[in-house]
Amino acid sequence: MMRDCSSCGILHESNEEMHQFLLNIGYKNTYVERLDRQKNYCRFGEQGICCTLCPDGPCRIRRRAPLGRCGIDADGISARNLLRLVINGGSAYTHDFKYTLKTLKAMAEGKSPFTVKDKDKLKWFVETVGIDFDEDNERKVLKNLYDFLDREFMKDTDEPLDIVKSLAPKSRVELWNRLGIMPGGFLKESHEASAKIMPNIDTDFLDLSLTALRLGISAGFTANIVSSIIRDIIFGSPSPNKGFSDLGVLDPDYVNIVVHGHVPWTGSVVAKLAKEESFQELAKKSGAKGIKVYGSLCTGQELIQRPETSKYIDGQVGNWLSQEFVAGTGVVDVFVLDKNCSAPGLNNLVNKLKLHTKLIPVSSVVRLREVKADKNLNYDPANVEEQAKYIILSAIEAFKQRKRTPYPRYVPDKKTEYIAGFGIESILSALGGTPDPLFDVIEKGLIKGVVGLVSCVTMRNGHGAFTYEFLKELLKRDILVLIAGCASSMAQIEGFTNLEAIEKYAGEGLKTVCKMLNIPPVLNFGSCLDTGRMILLIIALSQYKGVDPSKLPVVACAPEYYNNDALIDGLLGVAMGVNVYVNPPPPVTGAPAFLRLLTRDLEDYLGARFIVNPDPIKASEEVEDILRSKVQ
């Protein structure tokens, strides 16, 4: 399924095919070409030892100049730079949380088309955080839950989050209190942290590191964990279902809408309404066979996890690096652009090739040069059905233009079946209702443990090629993998998430377990934000065994992290006592004390550390060794 690409290493065959198609028609400005033009990297930036914060700079730390002009050292610069990225990533994640709250509020007021699909999870969650569950007054329960979560979001830095105390293992809460990293709400925590990264305010890498951990816990528990729970409540908890992924799912005979980004709200309504007979008939009158809606990136991953939403999705087209090739087919009529990962290259391609394709931002923060953004289409939970109708009608109009456009449309005939929909409930169901069989096969040595792999894909690593090799190594070593984020699309397209993968990729022990449970060796866990669901699983397993999470045979991995919100995932994982492998190395390698803290000393305080290794085989060996050490 994968092969060499002369320009960039390894691509999905479908994407390589599209790249060659675009080259043949004279378009030479995809990320493949841009990567080649930008091939010289700044070593000071890579190592995190360049500071641009004041007009006396930039300052670069080197042997003959070990201090900046203000006197700051490499560790202070690197820690301060990293904290700035953490603030950015946490803001992006909690932006999702803000709109989750808006959705909850609109539901409580009876103003939203969304309804509760998993009442059992709603009951469990509200009772866990100390809210009464009234079977006869659902809107009151939702209002009380909204009020509670809104207060949590706004808490000051000296007001510990009750949501953390309610959900986290007691051992972790006690540890975080001792270390001074029990956080308040992210808005106030990030405000405090933003003040620290000004020049000449906080230059102590240790304090900056503790601040980053506070942000990881605060954003992680609200944006990741709570948002995953709320989405399960509204859309239903994940349950196994099948579909197809890759560019070959696109059907030229239909009006085609791609819901793209990381947020499922608008996309879910567009997908559902597009299946209504009235819109299907309008499309047919325009010369199409009907309307199809496809998932892209994490919006798609979110929607294909649940039978309630996956039935409206006609396939998953790929991850963020596929978007130019998806548009380049010439058969997409509308891209619904939700936060985040709407790359400038997408609009460059649409404009340069004079495509009919409409790019429609539906988030207040998504803006592209020369793309008209209508603020009336920014997601509004009380008006989302009208917004979705406008988008569908726009797609039908765009299809009419498509028929008049001379562009030589082309869709690679490639798609792969996947199984999606694994979560805590569905995994426990596969295990027979208890995690005992999982622990039994680990103790017997059939599998070494579990890796939670949440990752993007990067240009530098050949569009997922590093993750592809790393994943093969893990499976060969009898390690079960839960996967989320853009890496999920890579795994789906390359056949890791169907039953055929058992014979193709799994080691003998893992093969036995997968056949016994009738599951793929890589379980699709959803979007990057579903790190929260993985953390909930770790919490559930630790409570079941009566041990701290640091004692579990679990490792978190981000073999090709890209966006800054991945830093929140990593910090949350380490804070929970789970070792976290990251690649490429974050911009900290030029700061010796800071690097030592992250990759070694943190284990003394939190029972976990960051692992950095640019070789997929050596990295998988290190992961395997850590898992072995956790099995008594």
Q: What is the pLDDT of residues 154-204, one digit of tens each?
A: 999 999 999 999 999 999 999 999 999 999 999 999 999 999 999 999 999
Overall CATH class of domain 247-404: alpha beta
CATH 1.20.1270.30 domain extents, the chain: 74-235
CA distances 411 to 326, 329, 464, Å, are: 9, 5, 21
Cis peptide before 340 (omega within 30 of 0): yes
pLDDT of residue 474: 98
Cα(411)–Cα(223) distance, integer angstroms? 37
- Give me the architecture of the 419-630 domain, per CATH: 3-Layer(aba) Sandwich (3.40)
Task: Identify the helix (H) or strand (E) that includes residue 504.
Answer: helix 500-505
Q: Do 448 and 442 meet the contact criterion of CB atoms below 8 Å apart?
A: yes
| Positions of the chain with pLDDT under 50 | 1-9
For residue 522, list its beta bridge partners.
481
Report helix, strand or coil for 61. coil
How many angstroms separate the CA atoms of 396 and 444, rounded?
Answer: 57
d(CA 136, CA 627): 47
- pTM value is 0.96
**Residue entry with tokens 């379980």:** 523
3-class state of residue 18 by DSSP: helix
Whole-angstrom distance, CA of residue 187 vs CA of residue 215? 10
Q: What's the confidence (pLDDT) of residue 334?
A: 98
Rounded to whole angstroms, the Cα distance separating 565 from 561 reads 9
CB 554 within 8 A of CB 578: yes
534/572 Cα distance (integer angstroms):
11
Cα 346 from Cα 487, distance rounded (Å): 20
Q: Which fold has domain 74-235?
A: Substrate Binding Domain Of Dnak; Chain:A; Domain 2 (1.20.1270)
The angle at the Cα of 72, spanning 66 to 75, to the nearest 5 degrees, equals 75
Output the DSSP codes for 172-187: HHHHHHHHT-----HH
Q: Which residues contact 427 (CB under 8 A, 6 or more apart)?
A: 523, 537
Of 426, 422, 482, nearest to 454 by C-alpha is 482
Q: What is the pLDDT of residues 481-513, one digit of tens each?
A: 999 999 999 999 999 999 999 999 999 999 999
Q: CA geometry: angle at 558 spanning 556 and 560, to 5°?
A: 165
φ, ψ at 211 (rounded to 5°): -65, -40
Q: Delimit the CATH 3.40.50.2030 region(s) of the chain.
A: 247-404, 419-630
Sign of CA dihedral 78, 208, 164, 578: positive
